[in-house]
Amino acid sequence: MERQELKKELDATLDARRELGPEYESALVDSFVDKVHTQVRRQLAEDRMAAARGDDPAGPSADGGFGERFGFAVITLVLAVPLTAIAAAQAHLPGLLVAWAGIVAVNFAHAAGRLPRRDRPGRGAPSD
């Protein structure tokens, strides 16, 4: 189910809700969410299969997909809490600023490592 199909499904669900009334809202929403969930699972499975076969080196799984980025963000925020507390207690505002500058720098470096590079074919390089 592509984006257009998903939009059509949502429109149909909203139309059905208008026709059937609010008492069927929960069932309609559940049905729509199930369709979206099924599509997301199917897409993830296809991405994993493509990555396992090596079909799509530029795809999200080959370079660390959403899960890796999300995990990195969560770890960064978890570690930011004690770093912030220690920096603020020991060096007050300057320490706090240095700690957060470091946190931002680490996240920026991590994100910059995911940008397409011109020197690698198939990763955003212009085809001349």
**pLDDT, tens only, 102-116:** 888 888 888 777 655
Predicted TM-score (pTM) of this structure: 0.42
Residue 81 near residue 51 (C-beta atoms within 8 A): no
- Decide if pLDDT at 24 tops 70: yes
**pLDDT, tens only, 31-86:** 878 787 787 788 888 888 887 887 654 544 445 677 777 788 888 888 888 888 88
Are residue 11 and residue 33 in the same domain, yes or no? Answer: yes
Are residue 58 and residue 110 in the same domain, yes or no? Answer: no
For position 15, what pLDDT does the model report?
A: 85
Neighbours of 99 (CB within 10 A): 20
Q: Is 64 exposed, middle or buried (CB count within 10 Å of its CB: 0-12, 13-18, 19+)? A: middle
Count CA within 13 A, CB hemisphere, residue 34. Answer: 7
Residue 99 near residue 93 (C-beta atoms within 8 A): no
**Domain count of the fold of the chain:** 2
- Domain limits for position 38: 1-62
Q: What six digits make up the tokens of 111?
A: 């994100």
Q: What six digits make up the tokens of 33?
A: 């969410």
